[in-house]
Amino acid sequence: MGLVKKGNKLWFFEELYKDVTYGFEVSRVIVPETDTGFQKLMILESDRLGRILVLDGIVQLTEEDEGIYHEWIAHWPLFALSKPSEQVLVIGGGDGGVAREVLRHKYIKKVTMVEIDKMVVDLCREHMPSISAGIFDDPRFDLIIGDGAEVVRAMRGKCDAIMIDSTDPIGPAKSLFNTSFYTSVYDALEEDGIAIHQTGALILQPFEAPGSWRQIERTFDDVRVVQFANFSYQGGPFSLTAGSKGKRVFKNADRNAKKNFRKAGIKTSWYSPEITAYPSPEFQKRLELDKYGEEIVMDIELPGGRRPTTKQVEKWSREACKAIRMVAFGEPIVSNPELGDGETLVQYIETSAINYRRFGDKACANIFTCAALPVDEAVDFSLDYFGAGSAVCWHLPRGSFAEIKDVRKATKIYKAALKKTELRGIDVVSQIYRPKLMDAAAVFSTDFKPPMDRGLCSAFELIMDIHDCDYSRISNCDTVAQWAAVEFRKASGLETVGKPDAPDFGHAKKKTAGPSVIQLLKRGSNISHFSMNWLMIVVNIVSQDAFPVRKVIENALRYFRGKYAVCWIVPRGLRSHAMAEIAENTLIFSVEAK
């Protein structure tokens, strides 16, 4: 919304979120919206908040409460160190507030601030001088105009502390929210050093801190989230995520902070080592999520030989979105407008995809989401929509960080039916089964046969969760499309249909940021989602034809430079109704990269 006239008053409303905003009355526009070449900048004045820096429609700071953020991001790591810091790097922070607080520490010998946008520095220095408070005249201060992601690569082992004071992960700050950047930051630290990064509002940006947590814990020796709140950052609780070089740093951080704070004699207005900055229990639980998402796989018994039309299936996919409280993304993609036996329909949703195919009298559906999935509602809706009596269901944790035995335990196979009452819902009408845990060598042997070769089903599904992939490979739409269209085809020997559809689900959602790919096959489909921030790929390949499972898995691991994969083989288009036999032929195994 930006600047809006309300009567004879001028108001500003923040534009970070589409569904929620906040605003304040503007008494004066000091710097009208200006294109800096990197972003759009405004400096406003408010009687209540003082002068306000706005970048791309998002409030960066106000004179009234800027000290809250700047004191916490600077003093929390510096006081937590076991020895006084001498060399500090600030990435971003062109307003000068972080460097101002760092330079209050008398032991500091040098502060290097790297800001990509010179106009931010110049205009803040001219119109908001209280923020930088004379740092440009301090001989210990050095300003570099450039990309922090590039500069930090040249500072190996030179810094005691690094503060990453960036905007949100869009525009000029996008390069500061990925694993290769965090690796460079780690390398730039001395032993027992700390890096700290702003990672968003914990409620309104629920995947940003967990996404950074996942990346930082892969790179650093320990990780900690600091929680505080100020008015300027909408959404209440705000987060900083810190990583240490050395495992003992955060163990002693609280004790060090109290001792060092007393010794330093620095008077702060907002920071104190006595204030508990640990995340609330709910946020800590979200940070420690042990899985990326959930999927419900259903083989639904269609009554009386019913064959749903394409329009009916499209309607199911849209209404299934509503049933699981998701939003559809684009229009459904179909392999054939007639949607005959074995043909595929895929509907992207805001956190992944819904897909459908039919084999004879079985409607085979997958509903996968990176958010919490209301499984019973998904099954209930689908059974009711298709007028079905029952369905065989596989409930899978996707992208789990648990051991393979625990992933198996969390995977449930059961038969579900609609409740025979006026109340909606489902009954589980079989016992709960688990997939058969296999050694990868047995699946990869020449004797292995897919389940349809044993007369159990019409097709099978290879499901892969590939962990610790290379960021540069999984973040590029062209690269992932090349895998689906060319590399996968070569490895599988399956015939592709048309070009891959590879949209970028980037947005500003840390968990789901990354491409998704649909590659239709002559007798199946390859649907995959790529999480840049969790360094993960989730893949579902359905085929009526056998293909070399080993070659496909090893090709994907090699192409995306993944470390390991958790895989399931699931029979689809079931001909058997014996749940024990279905479970026996549902396999789970793990594969380490060579």
Active site residues: 165
CA-closest candidate to residue 330, choices 306, 352, 361, 298? 352
Paired sense of beta strands 110-115 and 141-145, if any: parallel
Which two three-digit tokens encode residue 106? 């008398």
Dihedral sign (CA 441, 444, 446, 448): positive
CA-closest candidate to residue 427, choices 395, 394, 390, 397? 390
Paired sense of beta strands 189-201 and 110-115, if any: unpaired
Cα Rg of the chain (Å, integer) = 27
Dihedral sign (CA 406, 409, 413, 418): negative
Can you list the alpha helix ranges (DSSP code H) found in 128-252?
129-132, 148-151, 179-188, 208-219
Asked whether the beta carbons of 287 and 225 are under 8 A apart, the reply is yes
C-alpha 274/C-alpha 252 separation (Å) is: 15
Kindly give, in sequence order, each residue whose CB lies less than 8 Å from that of residue 402, ignoring residues fewer than 6 positions away: 290, 291, 410
- Per-residue buried b or exposed e for 249-274, using 16+ beta carbons within 10 Å of the residue's own CB: bbeebbebbeebbeebebebebbebe
Dihedral sign (CA 23, 24, 25, 26): negative
Asked whether the beta carbons of 125 and 31 are under 8 A apart, the reply is no
The upper half-sphere exposure of residue 321, i.e. CA atoms within 13 Å in the direction of its Cβ, equals: 22
Angle at 207 between CA 201 and CA 208, to 5 degrees: 55
CA-closest candidate to residue 349, choices 312, 313, 323? 323
Which two three-digit tokens encode residue 493? 């020997």
Other CB atoms closer than 10 Å to residue 441's CB: what's the count? 11
- CA dist 231 → 57, 234, 323, 539 (Å): 16, 7, 36, 42
